Amino acid sequence: MDQVIEDSVEASAGEETQVRKLDAAEEARIKSLMELGAFYGLSKSRTNPKMKPNIITSKSGVEVIDLEKTISALDKATEALKNKIKNGGAVLFVGTTPSAKVAVKTIAEELRMPYVTERWLGGTLTNFRVISQRISQLKKIKEDKETGNLEKYTKKERTQILKELEKMDKFFHGLFYMERMPSVMVVFDLRNNTLAASEAKKVGIMSIATVNTNANPDLVDYSVPINDKALSVVDYLANEFSRAIKEGQKEYESSAAAKAEDNKIKTNG
């Protein structure tokens, strides 16, 4: 069935070229995504009606995602992400599915950005003050453990504190870098993280998400239709988002340096 679906994708791409011819770079990107299996949707019976514009056909009951729509959506999402970062923004990554956890943790820690890879805790954004207090509490306990300050407690008390530490660390460790409200949230697999997307919308945080054919793209500001169940695809997306963030950081640093130089000139002048 794999070859049947791939042939369908190629045929549909050929039909699209009659309307708008793809350039060499776009064709190369679509080919790379095809090799990763990014066009695989889910069963037709699970399709969200709002995802139909991103589906080119169905084969053997499986939806086939239009990869031209995918690269267009991804470009818009990464550009919006870069613009947030170049203006001093911070990102919160969310990826709680087995296929996303490792990639999300890796990219977030590399960029020193907050992340959630376990269950999303209600109120993470809508009750940020309380969450921040819990994070501070966790940091304090970890510090006390490392410095030996827990020795002042009885053995029973230490056991209880360490159990609480283990429980809190599981859910809050990824949020250590969240010292302020993020300006953008990047969600891997929207269908499994609708609560996170809902909170971002409530507090006015821009949201970007990968969406398979069973998700509602209207829940976020930027949706990228793609097979976000495949590890190879998730890694590809993580690299794309990382690139956009690094470009934004570079522009932010250049702008900050230019402003500092201008202030120096004005002060000395």
**pLDDT tens digits for range 213-253:** 999 999 999 999 999 999 999 999 999 999 999 999 999 99
CA angle 211, 79, 185 (to 5 degrees): 50
Q: Indicate whether 92 belongs to any domain.
A: no
Query: Which 8-state DSSP code applies to residue 183?
Result: S
Residues 146-159, mean pLDDT to the nearest whole number = 85
36 and 232 Cβ atoms separated by less than 8 Å: yes
Using pLDDT thresholds of 50, 70 and 90, give the confidence band for residue 158: confident
Q: How confident is the model at residue 41, as a pLDDT?
A: 96
Q: Indicate whether 243 belongs to any domain.
A: no
Residues 109-129, mean pLDDT to the nearest whole number = 93
Is the pLDDT at 258 greater than 80? The verdict is no
Q: Indicate whether 56 belongs to any domain.
A: yes
45-54, 96-105, 190-199, 249-258: range with lowest mean pLDDT: 249-258
Q: How confident is the model at residue 263, as a pLDDT?
A: 66
Q: Indicate whether 192 belongs to any domain.
A: no
- Cβ neighbours, 10 Å, residue 242: 18
214 and 47 Cβ atoms separated by less than 8 Å: yes
Q: How confident is the model at residue 16, as a pLDDT?
A: 47
Using pLDDT thresholds of 50, 70 and 90, give the confidence band for residue 11: low
Work out the burial of residue 40: count CB atoms within 10 Å of its CB; fewer than 13 is exposed, 13-18 middle, 19 or more buried: buried
Nearest CA to 113 out of 177, 36, 22 is that of: 177
**Number of structural domains found in the chain:** 2
The two structure tokens encoding residue 260? 């500092």
Question: What is the pLDDT of the chain when averaged over all its residues?
Answer: 89
Query: Which 8-state DSSP code applies to residue 49?
Result: G
As beta bridge partners, residue 135 has none
Query: Which 8-state DSSP code applies to residue 52?
Result: G
Is the pLDDT at 37 greater than 50? The verdict is yes
Q: Indicate whether 79 belongs to any domain.
A: no
Q: How confident is the model at residue 255, as a pLDDT?
A: 82
Is the pLDDT at 117 greater than 90? The verdict is yes
31-40, 88-97, 144-153, 178-187: range with lowest mean pLDDT: 144-153
What percentage of the chain exceeds 70 in pLDDT? 88
Residues 199-215, mean pLDDT to the nearest whole number = 97
Is the pLDDT at 17 greater than 60? The verdict is no
Q: Indicate whether 31 belongs to any domain.
A: yes
Examine the fold and report which residue of 26, 50, 67 is the final residue of a domain before the chain moves on. Answer: 67
Examine the fold and report which residue of 67, 94, 117 is the final residue of a domain before the chain moves on. Answer: 67
> In whole angstroms, what is the distance from residue 121 CA to residue 28 CA?
40
Residues 119-139, mean pLDDT to the nearest whole number = 89
Any idea what the CATH number is for the domain that residue 142 is in? 1.10.287
Q: Indicate whether 162 belongs to any domain.
A: yes
Residues 28-36, mean pLDDT to the nearest whole number = 95
Using pLDDT thresholds of 50, 70 and 90, give the confidence band for residue 18: very low
Q: How confident is the model at residue 163, as a pLDDT?
A: 85
106 and 238 Cβ atoms separated by less than 8 Å: yes
Largest CA distance in the chain: 76
Examine the fold and report which residue of 46, 67, 88 is the final residue of a domain before the chain moves on. Answer: 67
Using pLDDT thresholds of 50, 70 and 90, give the confidence band for residue 160: confident
Residues 173-198, mean pLDDT to the nearest whole number = 93
Q: How confident is the model at residue 151, as a pLDDT?
A: 86
> In whole angstroms, what is the distance from residue 14 CA to residue 23 CA?
12
Residues 182-186, mean pLDDT to the nearest whole number = 97
Q: Indicate whether 163 belongs to any domain.
A: yes
Domain range for 158 = 126-171
Q: How confident is the model at residue 153, as a pLDDT?
A: 85
What percentage of the chain exceeds 90 in pLDDT? 65
70 and 236 Cβ atoms separated by less than 8 Å: no
